[in-house]
Amino acid sequence: KAGVTQTPRYLIKTRGQQVTLSCSPISGHRSVSWYQQTPGQGLQFLFEYFSETQRNKGNFPGRFSGRQFSNSRSEMNVSTLELGDSALYLCASSFDSRNTEAFFGQGTRLTVV
């Protein structure tokens, strides 16, 4: 059974640009959550999608958005990039929205210069 796949693995962007990250969950999983990991703040919840609907959103500005497709694949978009957006972005998939067993992808390392 394939795991959670995130693309790309590494990305370098310039301030002011926008970026789209992709996540393919484990087959059969309908919930996809996104997290940001930085050295100072640790792992922080961005948002969760379940059956193409955003169920929950963490405390991040509106520049961070996402969507989920009918095949459960999810994309995350960050507009008007800031230096502070440099982080490891992690996607987690789970069968239901309770996150009782959430499996993470390898992450996308975003560097904003």
Give the span between the Cα atoms of 25 and 92, in whole angstroms: 7
Residue of the chain from 48, 64, 76, 81 that contacts another protein (CB under 8 A) = 48
DSSP for 2-58, written as a single string: ---EEE-SEEEE-TT--EEEEEEPPTT--EEEEEEEETTTEEEEEEEEETTEEEEE-
Q: Is residue 93 a contact point for another protein (CB under 8 A)?
A: no
Q: Is residue 95 a contact point for another protein (CB under 8 A)?
A: no
Q: Smallest gap, in angstroms, from Cβ of residue 16 to another protein?
A: 26
Interface residue list for another protein (CB under 8 A): 4, 6, 33, 35, 42-48, 55-59, 88, 90, 92, 97-107, 109
